[in-house]
Structure 1
Amino acid sequence: MPPPDLAEIGVLALVCSVPVVLFGALIIRLARSWSLAVSMVVLVLIPVVATFTGVLGASGFMITETFEKIALVLIIVSVVTMPAAVIFARYQARRTVWEQEIRDAERYAEQSRRKLVAFVSHDLRTPLAGIRAVAEAIADGLVSEHEVREHAKHIEQESIRLSEMVDDLFEMSKINAGAVTPSSTLVALDEVVDDVVSAHRIAAERSGVDLQASLPAAPVKVLGSDRALVRVLSNLVANAIAHTPSGGTVKLALGSDERGAWARVDDTGVGIDDADLARVFDVAYRGSNGRVPRTDSSLPSGSGLGLAIAAGLVQAHHGTLSAHNLDTGARFEVRLPLAASA
């Protein structure tokens, strides 16, 4: 029997290898739940097995010395390439996750940037317009001499409000850029609470709100920045006072348990609408239920960034900040890891 020519060898190789490739493609298509590593191993095995069957078919299904050599080579190739495929697949999976995380971070940063720009264009415009109108009225002689002092006071109040907004914007931009790195000094939270209560005592009295503090017998200590933690609790207390009607109470309590240190700000105000709870820490959040009306215009009205800044600073301290409604009013709770020496 004469040996087959090249055309016959090619046809036999195709007939034997093509079904293997088609079957492998079907397996890959159906096995969508497989991990990337398993899929890569299958992708390596498909051409190896297809080559093996093609060579076997081309040899007329006879185990010759040449076929044994080719089979040995294919086995060695499989042993080498399959572990490499698993390693490359795992690397590719990690890189895909990293790239997705980077894209998500960039998307979030862009959204935050747009929110900040929208906030600046809206909220900074109002006090600037007020200052300009009053200044023009004084310059044009439309304000009597005995009214100048009153209008000057208004300009001062609006200037202070602008300064606070700019400070908040700067702090928020650092948080969004991931540039907040609090120091790792030992901070006594009871001293932080004392500072916050002292800073807001007058504003609470002018609002008709009873500001209370509850401290444990033993100091509660954490690692972090006392300045940043003062700002966190200060923002929460200011927010609580702004949402509590005259005659109400704002209570700042401190303690610790097996989960770490905690600080709670409770108020007897209007609470938080259920629809707003999920986004209460978003940039420029003010809520849909409105603030408690204030007759004193010198009281802080809030920049809309206070809660977002507080959440960012707490996260930088490896803690959590949560909010939920009480039977009357709302509670904001800060959780921080206790210092090892506490």
Structure 2
Amino acid sequence: MLNASELVLVAVTTLTTTAVVATLTFVLLRVLHRAGAAAKLAMVLSGAVISIAASTVAVALEMYLSGHDVIVLAWVIGISAVMSTAAAWLIARSAVRSSVATLVASTRRVGHGDVVEPSTTGLPELDAVSAELAESSQRLAEARAQVAELDNARTQLFAWISHDLRTPLAGMRAMAEAIEEGTAGDPDEYIRLIRAKIDTVTQMVGDLFELSRLQSGTLELHPEPVILLDLVSDAVSDVHAIASSRGIAIAQDGVDGHIIWADARELTRAIGNLLANGVRHAPDHSTILIRADTLENDQLILSVIDQGEGVTAENLGHMFDVGWRADASRTTHTGGAGLGLAIVRGIVEAHGGHVQARRTDEGFQLDLILPAAG
């Protein structure tokens, strides 16, 4: 039975030996900091084994064992330590090499644009890295798809803009040459048509500038409390002449009595674009309804409902995309570059709201959902 002093001696000897071996192991790891994971793991395991072996031999010497017993004990511990360290190094090297090789292969595939699945290595830490890598590959694939879609949309937009600018410019050139050569039957009418085409080109350029500000985030809003009826009235006045020429009436329901926090100029433009779109596609002698409702979360929904054919169900989610012209029923003889609804979405989203398109029993409906007034 060990007495108190002997227990203290064993504890001090063990702590001292362990501290010395741990310090040497730490220094070795710092010196060989470029070594592989398997080698570092083997160093740590070796340090633990050597610490146990050294502590055991030191305590044995202090216990005044015979020289023969100490030698036998040293040989047993030494052989066991060497074999244990070698086995640990081989096992660690095999496990780490296999796991790391799998991660390297997955990383290389991600670099080539592939989507990888998480792998099971048996090591929780590496499994977590593999799962994160798989998730990152999925996000990268989605990002690449979005970039490709945006690039395709930008290419189509350039083609549409070039076409839509070339048409009025060619007409203006032909009429200007006719006036210059004296072959114009009615020069005043030619001048009026040239001015109309200039207005069309000017509006297209203005739409492009507005869209660039929205997409670049440089649009500065100046929100203030505004009366919704005033905004709607201003937008209606802009399209009244065109609507009246086709016998289209514009009615309102529930618009009066709402005050919203918004940039009056920009939101009027958004409402005007919705009305222009409705007038463009509504049948002659029909009615366009502008309706305002308050949702349960105090959001305001402003709807423009026309009696046109609308678009197909698969195109409802693309109507507010830049340059969208997928449905022939809503693009025939419309002119423009497909920017009006894209500008609507940009303005509404800049106000913290969103847009949507849907078919209802009342007709084809475009909605502006705006946040509650500040």
Unpaired runs of 5+ in structure 1?
44-88, 295-299
| Counterpart in the other structure of 1:67 | none
Find the aligned partners of 1:182 and 1:242 in 2 and give their Cα distance.
Answer: 28
Of 231, 247, 253, the residue aligned with 2:269 is 231
Change (3 A) 1:284 1:113: closer
Aligned length: 283
Of 130, 150, 160, the residue aligned with 1:119 is 160
| Counterpart in the other structure of 1:84 | none
Name the SS for the 1:265 alignment partner.
strand
Q: Is the Cα–Cα contact under 8 Å of residues 181 and 316 in structure 1 kept in the other structure?
A: no
1:308 has 2:342 as partner: yes
| Counterpart in the other structure of 1:320 | 354
Of 195, 204, 208, the residue aligned with 1:169 is 208
1:187 has 2:273 as partner: no
Name the SS for the 2:205 alignment partner.
helix
Change (3 A) 1:187 1:42: closer
Find the aligned partners of 1:175 and 1:150 in 2 and give their Cα distance.
Answer: 37
Of 86, 94, 119, the residue aligned with 1:14 is 86
Find the aligned partners of 2:159 and 2:128 in 1 and give their Cα distance.
Answer: 51
Can you list the C-alpha shifts for 1:159-190, whole angstroms capped at 9, x where unaligned? 11001000001111112212223223222222
| Counterpart in the other structure of 1:132 | 173
User: Which one has a larger percent helix, Structure 1 or Structure 2?
Assistant: 2
Find the aligned partners of 1:169 and 1:107 in 2 and give their Cα distance.
Answer: 21
Can you list the C-alpha shifts for 1:185-221, whole angstroms capped at 9, x where unaligned? 2222221111112222221101221111223553x22
| Counterpart in the other structure of 1:143 | 184
Give TM-score scaled by structure 1 length: 0.70
| Counterpart in the other structure of 2:239 | 200
| Counterpart in the other structure of 2:281 | 243
Change (3 A) 1:137 1:185: same
Name the SS for the 2:365 alignment partner.
strand
Task: Give the letter for the 1:153 counterpart.
Answer: R
| Counterpart in the other structure of 2:254 | 215
| Superposed counterparts of 1:244-323, under 5 Å | 244-259=282-297, 260-291=299-330, 301-323=335-357
Please report how far the alpha carbon of residue 17 of structure 1 lies from its aligned counterpart in structure 2 after TM superposition: 2.6
Find the aligned partners of 1:204 and 1:39 in 2 and give their Cα distance.
Answer: 67
Find the aligned partners of 1:276 and 1:307 in 2 and give their Cα distance.
Answer: 13
Unpaired runs of 5+ in structure 2?
1-71, 104-116
Relative contact order higher in (CA < 8 Å, ≥ 6 apart): 1
Task: Give the letter for the 1:150 counterpart.
Answer: E
Change (3 A) 1:272 1:291: closer
| Counterpart in the other structure of 1:32 | 118
Name the SS for the 2:358 alignment partner.
strand
Q: Is the Cα–Cα contact under 8 Å of residues 303 and 368 in structure 2 kept in the other structure?
A: yes
Task: Give the letter for the 1:172 counterpart.
Answer: L
Please report how far the alpha carbon of residue 234 of structure 1 lies from its aligned counterpart in structure 2 after TM superposition: 0.4
Find the aligned partners of 2:138 and 2:221 in 1 and give their Cα distance.
Answer: 28
Name the SS for the 2:329 alignment partner.
coil
Compare 224-233 and 197-206 and name the one that shifted more: 197-206
Give TM-score scaled by structure 2 length: 0.64
Compare 254-263 and 329-338 and name the one that shifted more: 254-263
Larger Rg: 2
Please report how far the alpha carbon of residue 33 of structure 1 lies from its aligned counterpart in structure 2 after TM superposition: 7.4
Task: Give the letter for the 1:318 counterpart.
Answer: G
Change (3 A) 1:178 1:106: farther
Change (3 A) 1:206 1:178: same
Change (3 A) 1:272 1:102: closer
Change (3 A) 1:293 1:97: closer
Find the aligned partners of 2:136 and 2:261 in 1 and give their Cα distance.
Answer: 34
Change (3 A) 1:256 1:134: same
Name the SS for the 2:328 alignment partner.
coil
Change (3 A) 1:42 1:192: closer
Q: Is the Cα–Cα contact under 8 Å of residues 234 and 268 in structure 2 kept in the other structure?
A: yes
| Counterpart in the other structure of 1:66 | none
Name the SS for the 1:124 alignment partner.
helix
Q: Is the Cα–Cα contact under 8 Å of residues 109 and 177 in structure 1 kept in the other structure?
A: no
Please report how far the alpha carbon of residue 8 of structure 1 lies from its aligned counterpart in structure 2 after TM superposition: 9.8
